[in-house]
Structure formats: C-alpha cells, structure tokens
Amino acid sequence: MAATGGIMKMSQKGNSRNNIVLIGMPGVGKSTVGVLLAKALSRDFLDTDVYIQAQEGRTLQEIIDQDGLESFRRIEERRVRSLKCRSSVIATGGSVVYYPAAMAHLRASGLVLHLDLDLPALQKRLINLPTRGVVRVPGQTLGQLFAERQPLYRKYAHLTIDCSRSSHEDMVRKIVRRLNRFTPRRPRERGRTGRTQGTS
C-alpha cells in the first residue's frame, strides 16, 4: 500500500465499482470521515442527509417539524432507495437502519461499515440534538436512541469500526486496513451428493 497525503491507499483488488456505505449514530463522524475516505480511495462521495435536503429544498429538521416524523421517514427511505451510485463512499443518516428495503439496497451495492462510538463520547459531541434533524420520538433521550439503534447497526454492517479515541484521520486508516483484509464470504459449494461442503 502506498501512502497518499498521510493516508494509506487501498489496494485495487476486488470490484472498485462497489460502494462503501457508512452507517452509525449521529455525531460519530460519518460525513467528515466519508469525505476523507473518498479522497484516499479516489472515489465519489455522497452524504444522504445533504442529498435529501437538496432534493426537498428544506433542512431535515424543517421536514420533521413541518411534515411530521412519519412523513420524513417515508421521504428518507424513498430517497435512499433511489440512489444509483457506483464506486462511491456514501455517508448515511443515522436513521437509515430503520428501513429494511433501503438497507437491502445499500448492502446490494457494496460494503456497509458501522462506525461505532460509545455513548459517553457521543453525549459530549451531540449538544444540538433537538435541532439536528435526528429521527426520534418526542422525549426520547440519546441513551434510549443509542440502545434502540445499536443492534440494527450491527445487524446490517459487514464490518464494525471502533472509533473511540481516534481522530478522523485515524478512523480512515483503520477503515483502509480493514478493507484491505476483508474478504467477502462466498456461498458454500455443494458436493455431488447435494450436501453442503465446508464448515458451519
């Protein structure tokens, strides 16, 4: 691997048309890390929150305030499912894991990476939760949201990246190292008897 601007360059083995999709809690750094990762890997970058705002002509919080939470959910799912990106880094909104069809679409397009950060660190970062455009029911705390979403992030992610005590540049290095070691699981072959070969 060659160094480029202090970031290790990902090897070109595998399908470079596959997307790299970042999921995780608000405040974990998906957008900032996504830009740096796209630069390191010479890929396009898309932030789905910015994309939704551009398509709707309003901020996320304005959509929630004016149309309601359920309407925002329908808009977010529809916009994510409409994406046709290739060879891109995609930073998603933290609520994307609520939509199985949207996640199936993202997983079919490439690798899904969960950027994971513990709750105390997130609480220090998220001082603007009420105005950030976060999908949560009225009165729901960050802790409750964290407990609700963590199982979903782990369910849909191909890889989980521990982001604790890491700068954004460190996170990119971690991701590139993991991507270079990652080998997608292949379907197990069947023998002549029809039995599945390999270990379970």
pLDDT digits (tens, 9 = 90+) for 19-56: 999 999 999 999 999 999 999 999 999 999 999 999 99
DSSP at 196: B
pLDDT in tens, 129-165: 776 778 888 888 999 999 999 999 999 999 999 999 8
Q: What percent of the chain lies above the pLDDT cut of 70?
A: 82
Amino acid letter, 116: D
pLDDT in tens, 105-127: 999 999 999 999 999 999 988 87
pLDDT in tens, 49-102: 999 999 999 999 999 999 999 999 999 999 999 999 999 999 999 999 999 999
The CATH code of the domain at 16-125+135-181 is 3.40.50.300
113: which 2 tokens? Answer: 């990476």
Is 70 exceeded by the pLDDT of residue 4? no
How many CB atoms sit inside 10 A of residue 146's CB?
18
Mean pLDDT of the chain: 85
The four Cα atoms 86, 87, 89, 94 give a dihedral, to 10 degrees, of: 30
